[in-house]
Structure 1
């Protein structure tokens, strides 16, 4: 068939030279050096441990997890938290609930414990309880929640406990790890706001539900803490319609946290945009960010660098003679290709920032649409690679910069809220009704100061 179509395929893949960026040095209680995209945090304290004084355990699966298993899990969790430098007190209460109702349960807890910080929920198998819990905690009651599968409570593994504490510490305002002074890109030495944006669209077959746009922005000097803005918008529209107002709110958060300082530079990582939409995104979204800055202060014009992050492509990188990393022999983390297979006139590059655990690693394609900051390709590549080491859920470098990853998570969480709303209020809700309810609930979540992704 190929011969009849007059196709010809080379016997060998295209051969080119790549570069391997040095992994940035990280800082916990002591410097940590990643090796092949992984670092050992088992004997290290968090850079900044959170203080958790008032929290509750809700066992929504008492048939499978008895009281003794729950107490054992809590004891080991608190012991490891102490080893990590967290001030994690004993829970003020632990309930076994046979008929879960998150709305009533969370409301009662909020009334009974006015300073409640966290609810740890033990889930059962299957069902849509997770969506109910997150919607109630995020948008109605204003309580942070951490869900744990019942099997992880009965079969306790140190690695699982460590992963749970990574998430709890970040949710409660702690910092797991930061870039050390020796590994910090130069752009982070001055006030800078690192942003990420993504839009989550309804699943196939859904022709009415709105798309959910999420934008996150850092507000500390470590690029480790992020404010979040989420908005519903018309069905399957990729361009973020309310980006101007979202950016203004994020700038206000930056001002408040830094006590009046303004970011001198802004770097945006925009996820989910195809090449056919580059010009449209640039003309609308970059203009919206500019307008947000000038409306905040007349003469405020920070330099903006706008990058598009793409994972949906068909480019793969292989080591010559399969001399790679890991059992699958993938290219090492930090591998950069910025010639040969890139655009002839525009600035773009491929970066494989993670270690492929299974199968062939897929590099991430970065396209620089705009750069007022006059950053060199080396500066942008090193900044991007460094941000891939700041994702709070694991002790590995990930395939996306942390702002883009957090925006993806925030958009997905908003989609969970919308889907739960549709099931709760029936399929008869129109798109405008869903959008109205979603907007109100998202504002309630923001007013509760749940700024962490």
Structure 2
């Protein structure tokens, strides 16, 4: 491995992978014999790999590029970089192709033995084996870069409009392919799958801004928003070939923005001229951009301006901001592919990639088989469920129903009210229909005490005032605090009332609440609503038969607590605290009832830091609450087995899960009782991977309950793939389970059956879900409690509520604690 240093002739570092790759390609062409005719694998940054050593340990080269496309701006700050209007075209062409000199230094950094590839294949994890796989993935990225692809980590995207999906707002979904090498039980495997990223719609800058701001004329563009949206995007002008990076907009419009233009009389004198007049004198007519700001691609002290209508956004530029709800919906709906369609696309991609032509792969002795791996799986039988009156339910194709059946454990809804924040919803029919359906399912639901309608005059008030006003109405008309509030919202998603309302109910008053924004109300909709209400108020909708009969190996015969752990992060680019949630089972031997604890931690931090938080003689961590609740709800028995399901971590973080998170959980147990030593099993569930399964000779998805634990699994570790759910739309994505630590001693069959069963205890639906319920609940709890805080105001919140900090970072505000009345409920359901 060689360390690479790239510099311009003036010793300024080269910034950007595109330029770096072009320089290294030119280096290889120019100095091929001096480099012993070796092929390279270059990561676009600081690392370059060869098979065998270069002749020298330290190497210095000079590389001359004819068309570097660096996007550097002219020294005088004038549009197009020309000294004067006259003769500008010739100067511009000459400048675009002007040779540019680069300095390249290559120095030996490390040696990786070829045997490391064999170690990776055998699953022997070491620094060399991990580095060997990284080198092979770099070869794949370099192979795609030479084809002009956009590279996003291990995914590649071609500039092919047939792969584009317009999402609205100037954003395009771009379909490409993930490709990476992995060591599996079958040997070295190439994992290839369809991948999607978001890009900015290429073409005229003005068209992008109109679409982005949803306006129909440039006069309606908000230029402050435009400045933020355009910053760092790359453009080409209609009359030029050089790419430039946008740094901002001109302070004045094109007809008023001036710059100093050098006179052509041989002196250094300049004359002020507007950008608009400059182009008019060149004979370039500006149809509309004279009245709008110019694009600035220069430096802070040397701006370079282009009229907006002459600028085009270049293709394949990533859009990294958060998508709107509508854009996400469009992306999901238009990216779905049936299994046979996806298989055909992947087969075509594999042939087009032509990896066997890559010289570096050939030198490494690697060739790629032309067909996908054939594997064997098995289908687990769906677990039987119990409804009321000991009635059995046998799920079919991962589904069941409550037709002519009642829920197994029902609550009483006896002190409740309805709150209506929606001007659209007619609740006159909703309430009697809800009560009728509740009765049919065994839920005793009284008439609501009151229906509280929001005054039309309040709908434009600040959201906190709207919520406070509604609670004032409730307190004035009800004899005491209600046990349950049904809340109608105006929108299903992103309703501004949702977070403040949940916080008021769950943190301040301890009232269970169910929000809804119905578009069409029918009996299936109301059943789904009642299942959530029943679970939140302490009931159960169904029960596993093996749970009721205490027949779950390692769980039913020994007090066992099940933990689900997840960390929810803000959108990329947002400096919001991450939300860590732990849900835990209660009322052992049940495995269907859970409660949740939630904390904040530093933004983008994946490892949980609040599991054990000793403060003097107290522990304020998340695990202590779970353990005490299990003890009090399970006949004052401590768990002898602790089963932990962890979501959202990659293979590189597995060691941290054991060394950081499991260690905290063990410390929390010892803090409660030094003599208490439960056994631990830790399982990581991964959904963000690229392994898919297809049925041989069938266009359908694999059936629910499909398990694969051979060939494509790790050569040595305890892992398996499971498709517990029925993939009704698109191609089923299996969950990849990794058993990192197992003191309890599950057999492979018992572990798979247990995981499969936990996909059937999700109280919100009558279908098996794709990942175990504790993880789904942790995700829901993090999202719901996270909505309590309005993150734009967190600087104020942190000073008043206190928070924990990491060294050198700002305080992280703490979430308000749930009221003791709802703390052990399934409020997140």
Q: TM-score, normalised by structure 2?
A: 0.51
| Matching residue within 600, 623, 626 for 1:232 | 600
Structure 2 gap segments, 5+ residues each: 1-146, 148-352, 362-366, 460-465, 613-620, 804-810
Give the CA deviation at 1:187: 2.7
| Matching residue within 509, 523, 548 for 1:141 | 509
Partner of 1:171: 536
* Superposition pairs of residues 111-126 of structure 1, within 5 angstroms: 112-125=478-491
Partner of 1:406: 777
Partner of 2:438: 81
* Separation in 1, partners of 2:666, 2:474: 44
Give the CA deviation at 1:185: 2.1
Q: Secondary structure at the match of 1:121?
A: strand
* Superposition pairs of residues 46-85 of structure 1, within 5 angstroms: 46-61=407-422, 63-65=423-425, 69-85=426-442
* Separation in 2, partners of 1:332, 1:159: 25
* Separation in 1, partners of 2:773, 2:683: 14
Partner of 1:131: 499
Q: Deviations over 1:207-244 (max 9, x none)?
A: 2x211100010012221221211111112111110112
Partner of 1:273: 649
- Does the C-alpha gap of structure 1 residues 239 and 81 become closer, same or farther in structure 2, counting only changes over 3 Å? same
| Matching residue within 623, 640, 643 for 1:247 | 623
Q: Which has the higher contact order (CA 8 A, sep 6+)?
A: 1
* Superposition pairs of residues 91-110 of structure 1, within 5 angstroms: 91-98=448-455, 99=458, 101-106=466-471, 108-110=473-475
Q: Secondary structure at the match of 1:188?
A: coil
**1:318 aligned onto 2:694:** yes
| Matching residue within 31, 34, 43 for 2:392 | 31
Which stretch shows the higher mean deviation, 357-366 or 257-266?
Answer: 257-266
Q: How many residues align?
A: 436
* Superposition pairs of residues 161-200 of structure 1, within 5 angstroms: 161-181=526-546, 184-190=551-557, 191-200=559-568
* Superposition pairs of residues 1-40 of structure 1, within 5 angstroms: 2-3=353-354, 4-5=357-358, 9-29=368-388, 30-40=391-401
Tell me, yes or no, if the aligned pair for 1:179 and 1:222 is still in contact at 8 Å.
Answer: no
Partner of 1:387: 758
Q: Deviations over 1:308-342 (max 9, x none)?
A: 0100000001111116xxxxx11111100011011
Partner of 1:218: 585
Which stretch shows the higher mean deviation, 358-367 or 114-123?
Answer: 114-123
Tell me, yes or no, if the aligned pair for 1:106 and 1:141 is still in contact at 8 Å.
Answer: no
Give the CA deviation at 1:189: 1.4
* Separation in 2, partners of 1:51, 1:342: 48
Structure 1 gap segments, 5+ residues each: 324-328
* Separation in 2, partners of 1:200, 1:402: 16
Tell me, yes or no, if the aligned pair for 2:798 and 2:814 is still in contact at 8 Å.
Answer: no
Two-structure CA RMSD over aligned residues (Å): 2.2
Tell me, yes or no, if the aligned pair for 1:214 and 1:408 is still in contact at 8 Å.
Answer: yes
Which stretch shows the higher mean deviation, 159-168 or 242-251?
Answer: 242-251
Q: Deviations over 1:156-186 (max 9, x none)?
A: 2111111101111101110011111369522
Q: Secondary structure at the match of 2:733?
A: coil
Partner of 2:90: none
* Separation in 1, partners of 2:545, 2:379: 20
Give the CA deviation at 1:73: 1.0
Partner of 1:157: 522
Q: Secondary structure at the match of 2:561?
A: strand
- Does the C-alpha gap of structure 1 residues 253 and 318 become closer, same or farther in structure 2, counting only changes over 3 Å? same
Tell me, yes or no, if the aligned pair for 2:680 and 2:741 is still in contact at 8 Å.
Answer: yes
| Matching residue within 703, 725, 742 for 1:371 | 742
Q: Secondary structure at the match of 1:85?
A: coil
Give the CA deviation at 1:435: 6.2
Q: Secondary structure at the match of 2:596?
A: strand
Q: Secondary structure at the match of 2:697?
A: helix
Give the CA deviation at 1:64: 2.1
- Does the C-alpha gap of structure 1 residues 127 and 264 become closer, same or farther in structure 2, counting only changes over 3 Å? closer
**1:287 aligned onto 2:663:** yes
Tell me, yes or no, if the aligned pair for 1:58 and 1:96 is still in contact at 8 Å.
Answer: yes
Q: Deviations over 1:228-268 (max 9, x none)?
A: 11111112111110112211111100111123111121111
Give the CA deviation at 1:393: 0.9
Q: TM-score, normalised by structure 1?
A: 0.91
Tell me, yes or no, if the aligned pair for 2:409 and 2:541 is still in contact at 8 Å.
Answer: yes
Tell me, yes or no, if the aligned pair for 1:25 and 1:183 is still in contact at 8 Å.
Answer: no
Which stretch shows the higher mean deviation, 125-134 or 427-436?
Answer: 427-436
Partner of 2:823: 449
* Separation in 1, partners of 2:724, 2:666: 30
| Matching residue within 681, 688, 692 for 1:305 | 681
